[in-house]
Amino acid sequence: MPTVILGREIIRRFGGDEAPIVLPPSADTVRGVIRALDERFPGITAVLSGPMAVSIDGQIYENCLLEPVADSSEVCFLPAIDGG
């Protein structure tokens, strides 16, 4: 079952705790992970669809909705960092 780590600001906004979130095996792509999270935290899709990078097992992806997520994967949503 994939494990998801959300940033402190996101968790506070949706009333969760900071512990990793375990999702069902049906969340087998990043899109599936976001859907499963939205069932648990209604409205989170809008936040996670914004300027965000996603780390899957330590590798960072952008534009990754179809990236596969294994049962043992750790998925972390990272807010985009402005810089120049």
E strand spans, 1-84: 3-5, 21-22, 52-56, 59-61, 74-79
Task: State pTM to two decimals.
Answer: 0.85
Whether 80 has a pLDDT exceeding 80, the answer reads no
Q: Structural domain boundaries of the chain?
A: 3-79
The CATH H-level superfamily of 3-79 is: Beta-grasp domain (3.10.20.30)
Q: What is the pLDDT of residue 19?
A: 73
- pLDDT, mean of residues 24-40: 91
**Cα(8)–Cα(11) distance, integer angstroms:** 5
Q: What is the pLDDT of residue 58?
A: 94
pLDDT higher for 81 or 58? Answer: 58
Whether 31 has a pLDDT exceeding 80, the answer reads yes
pLDDT in tens, 34-76: 999 999 899 999 998 888 889 999 999 877 889 999 989 999 9
